[in-house]
Amino acid sequence: MKFENTGFENFKVDLNRLDEVMLDHDLVREGQWDYERVTYDRKFELKEGVYYLRVQGYSIEGDVDTFKATIQLMTPFLGKHYYPHGVEYGDDEFYPPALLKNCKRILEEVKAEIEKFAL
């Protein structure tokens, strides 16, 4: 499920600052990157299942591995994990209303911080 109209796709940000903001909101990059792309995930373990809030971006300048990159953010989305197949992101999945509300709050908080230093 995509979180449309968040404005994330309008942001170009320094990778190091982005890493700090995302980590402050428990959105973790870990090994989910290559030379051109980054993915930040936050895991939610609920009685209805395991869900991931995901924010992705790609480098428009520099390389991610050198920590000297400008990242263009993309539309955030939410998915449900199904063992052993992986995460499904379809709109036909069930997403608990409290989870959706929490994810929207997190995204609003992240956006408010990114707006302060976005290029």
Q: Do the domain assignments include residue 1? A: no
R_g of the chain computed on alpha carbons: 14
- What is the model's pLDDT at position 91? 84
Sequence-separated (6 or more) residues with CB below 8 Å from residue 18: 38, 57, 71, 73, 114
Residue 89 included in any domain: yes
pLDDT score at 103: 98
Distance of alpha carbon 9 from alpha carbon 52, whole angstroms: 19
In a domain, residue 2? The reply is no
Residue range of the domain that includes 31: 8-114
Angle of CA points 18, 103, 93, to nearest 5°: 120
Domain count, the chain: 1
69 neighbors 29 (Cβ within 8 angstroms): no
Residue 100: how many other CB atoms lie within 10 Å: 14
Average confidence score pLDDT of the chain: 95
Whether residue 119 lies inside any domain: the answer is no
The answer on pLDDT for 50 being more than 80 is yes
In a domain, 3, yes or no: no
User: Is 100 among the domain residues?
Assistant: yes
Residue 81 lies inside a defined structural domain of this protein: yes
Per-residue pLDDT reduced to its tens digit, 70-106? 999 999 999 999 988 889 998 889 999 999 999 999 9
Directed axis angle between helix 15-24 and helix 97-114, to 10°?
Answer: 140
82 in a structural domain: yes
CATH code at 50?
3.30.310.100
- Residue bearing the bigger pLDDT, 45 or 85: 45
Tens of pLDDT, residues 67-76: 899 999 999 9
